[in-house]
Structure 1
Amino acid sequence: MSASGEAAGTPPVSDIGRLTGFSDGVFAIVITLLVIELRVPAHRPGELLTGLVEEAPAYVAFLLSFGYVGVIWLNHHMLLRLVRSTTLGLNWINLWLLLGVVVIPFPTAVLAAAFAHDGNDHDRRVAVLLYALAAAAMSAPWLAFFSYLRRHPALLGEGISVAHVAAQRARPVTGMALYLLSGALGWFVSPVLGVIGIVVMIAYHALTSEGVRRGRPRRR
């Protein structure tokens, strides 16, 4: 259902129902695809337990990325609660965001393979850096989303202030900087430290999934 812009300078708007449904479908597919990387290990008779233990990095990578995608979904849910309608521009930004989501299984598989028993230190450094770069790139569309809403306040939901939306930009900026720092730690210092940094950042985004609060969002 389409409607004209409610304020001068606001592009034609439409209901967010289709955007929400499509986005949730993408998240559901991606979080399901992560489990494909979990396989029954090749093993000799009587050595199944050893094979399962050797696959431990794959299980850790799966849990890490399952949690990461889950946190992104929670943050995306919060994001859509800020708006009452969408535009073509906002839909493109959302597709950009979803591109980052669908990429996640690839660095997850690389990370699991690098930390497997046949991986070496250099491979692990490359894998951690790749994962961190993918996570840092994920922050860019969030920043664009908040900036777009700040420029088009007519899209905001009831009771959501422009100041509240502007405050949320600190989160993707922090994420971009600290994911890059985690990648640098993984490359120059230790792959394990890099993974720890990534876990800390995922926890940060989980704890702030309701947004940065500088007082209660006031009605515009």
Structure 2
Amino acid sequence: MAATEQDPTGGASLAEIDRMKAFSDGVFAIVITLLVLELRVPSYEPGELLTGLLHEGSAYLAFVISFGYVGVLWLNHHALLRLLRGTNPALNWINLAILFGVVIIPFPTAVLASAFTDHGDRHDRQAAVALYALAAALMSLPWLVVFGYLRRRPEVYATGVDHAYVRAQARRPITGLVLYGLAGLLGWFVDPMVGLVAIIVMIIYHAVTSEGIRRRRSPARRPG
């Protein structure tokens, strides 16, 4: 793609999207790396390595959950960029908001791992699950903004992207905002493990729908 592409409606030119892709992929790669840095070899006495590893099980679980979450976010981000033929300042700022939510993930991951060790009690686990759910719910906000923006600006669509397909995607961040919030409430008021399972279910949902929600009637065309 050329450095800029003129908006067919006569508005501002669209910049090439390659720089946004490269920068975003770099951020995702760094976040994945930061997650693995939380894993550590436990201290142990001779013959007690297995016990030490099992004691760190919560850290391994938190890593797997967040690795999957970041991976799903990357898949969704990749699918989003395939909808665009170019970018502009508004899309750049929205993309930065999405990445802001991504880089926060290692913190609630570390809190979750710490709370579910023997050192954390029920109250600590309630707070940790609620924090993770809150971070995930807030992550849905820039996605809600970007699909709202795209509904109003079809001129930025890549060739072959159907307007109705883009409109349908707004349901996904709304679902995330509501159900991650519900997961946090379940973790706080019912049981931390129930809230954690609800978070995992939502991550799976976003993985299954990473290519978007298809219309049941007159299916939309996939982006080329």
The residue type equivalent to 1:33 in the other structure is: L
1:38-72 Cα distance to aligned partner (Å, 9 max, x none)? 01112222211111100000000000000000000
> How far, CA to CA, are the matches of 1:87 and 1:151 in structure 2?
14
Q: Which residue of 1 aligns with 2:34?
A: 33
The residue type equivalent to 2:220 in the other structure is: R
The residue type equivalent to 1:216 in the other structure is: A
Is 1:136 matched up with 2:137? Answer: yes
1:125-168 Cα distance to aligned partner (Å, 9 max, x none)? 00000000000000001111111111111100111122111100
Paired residues for 1:34-49 under 5 Å: 34-49=35-50
Question: Any conservation in 1 of the 2:17–2:87 contact (CA below 8 Å)?
Answer: yes
Q: Which residue of 2 aligns with 1:217?
A: 221
The residue type equivalent to 2:60 in the other structure is: Y
Is 1:56 matched up with 2:54? Answer: no
> How far, CA to CA, are the matches of 2:176 and 2:202 in structure 1?
7
Q: Which residue of 2 aligns with 1:5?
A: 7
Q: Which residue of 1 aligns with 2:108?
A: 107
> How far, CA to CA, are the matches of 1:12 and 1:141 in structure 2?
23
Q: Which residue of 2 aligns with 1:15?
A: 16
Runs of at least 5 residues in structure 2 that lack an aligned partner in the other structure: none
> How far, CA to CA, are the matches of 1:218 and 1:162 in structure 2?
11
- Structure 1 residues 140 and 121 mapped into 2: Cα distance closer, same or farther (>3 Å)? same
The residue type equivalent to 1:199 in the other structure is: I
Question: Any conservation in 1 of the 2:129–2:188 contact (CA below 8 Å)?
Answer: yes
> How far, CA to CA, are the matches of 1:53 and 1:23 in structure 2?
35
Q: Which residue of 1 aligns with 2:199?
A: 198
- Structure 1 residues 218 and 60 mapped into 2: Cα distance closer, same or farther (>3 Å)? closer
Is 1:183 matched up with 2:184? Answer: yes
Question: Any conservation in 1 of the 2:164–2:220 contact (CA below 8 Å)?
Answer: no
Q: Which residue of 1 aligns with 2:99?
A: 98
> How far, CA to CA, are the matches of 1:11 and 1:192 in structure 2?
50
The residue type equivalent to 1:217 in the other structure is: R
The residue type equivalent to 2:165 in the other structure is: H
Q: Percent identity?
A: 60
Deviation at 1:218, TM superposition (A): 7.9
- Structure 1 residues 51 and 177 mapped into 2: Cα distance closer, same or farther (>3 Å)? same
Q: TM-score, normalised by structure 1?
A: 0.96
- 4+ residue stretches of structure 1 with deviation over 4 A? none
1:168-199 Cα distance to aligned partner (Å, 9 max, x none)? 00000001100000000000000000000000
